[in-house]
């Protein structure tokens, strides 16, 4: 379905707005598929994200602030997510050997087993969702999105400038 049909627009906006709308709609479409997969395993997307970060981290674990820095969905309350995952036995906190004021988060054996069970379905999901493109197209799109994201990150003060122009 075209952007114009999906959003029931009488006319298409400028190309830059079209790109932003397409990105938002695509994110929502991908998230809906991810939610169904992770919910079937008793997780939210944010919880999976925390488990992914911790599993891929150092054996001594990550402090909470480092997990938060690496989150894809940064609006999540990481401390609360870790608390829930710890209550499920998927993560555990351990005291930092050098600074007892800091606790590090490590994945538990139960958490590792869950993530190993999810590896194949997550890969299959990614393969299926991108099956409309060949490998070169996927790589080109990934590179383009990275370039766009880096450019957006350099625009940090843009919203203040735009807000000032409106007033």
Residue 167, pLDDT score: 56
Helix (H) or strand (E) holding 127: helix 109-129
Mean pLDDT for the chain? Answer: 90
Using the 8-state DSSP alphabet, how is residue 108 labeled?
-
Out of 3.10.180.10, 3.40.50.720, 1.10.10.10, 1.25.40.420, the CATH code matching 46-125 is 1.10.10.10
Q: Of 110, 60, 63, nearest to 86 (Cα)?
A: 110
- Residue-level pLDDT at 146: 95
Answer whether 94's CB lies under 8 Å from 61's CB. Answer: yes
Instruction: Write the DSSP symbol of residue 44.
Output: -
Does position 155 have pLDDT exceeding 60, yes or no?
yes
What are the residues whose beta carbons fall under 8 Å from the beta carbon of 41, sequence distance 6 or more?
A: 114, 117, 118
pLDDT tens digits for range 111-122:
999 999 999 999
Lowest mean pLDDT among 37-41, 89-93, 107-111, 151-155: 151-155
């Amino acid at each position: 379905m075209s952007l114009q049909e999906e959003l029931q627009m009488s006319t298409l906006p400028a190309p830059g707005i079209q790109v932003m709308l397409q990105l938002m709609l695509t994110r929502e479409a991908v998230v809906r598929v991810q939610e169904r997969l992770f919910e079937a395993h008793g997780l939210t997307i944010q919880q999976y994200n925390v488990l992914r970060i911790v599993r891929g981290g150092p054996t001594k674990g990550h402090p909470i602030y480092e997990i938060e820095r690496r989150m894809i969905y940064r609006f999540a309350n990481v401390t609360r997510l870790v608390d829930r995952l710890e209550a499920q036995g998927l993560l555990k906190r351990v005291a930092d050997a050098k600074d007892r004021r800091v606790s590090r988060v490590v994945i538990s054996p139960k958490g590792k087993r869950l993530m190993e069970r999810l590896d194949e379905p997550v890969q299959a999901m990614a393969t299926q969702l991108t099956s409309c493109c060949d490998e070169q197209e996927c790589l080109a799109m990934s590179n383009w999105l990275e370039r766009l994201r880096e450019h957006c990150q350099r625009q940090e003060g843009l919203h203040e400038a735009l807000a000032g122009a409106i007033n």
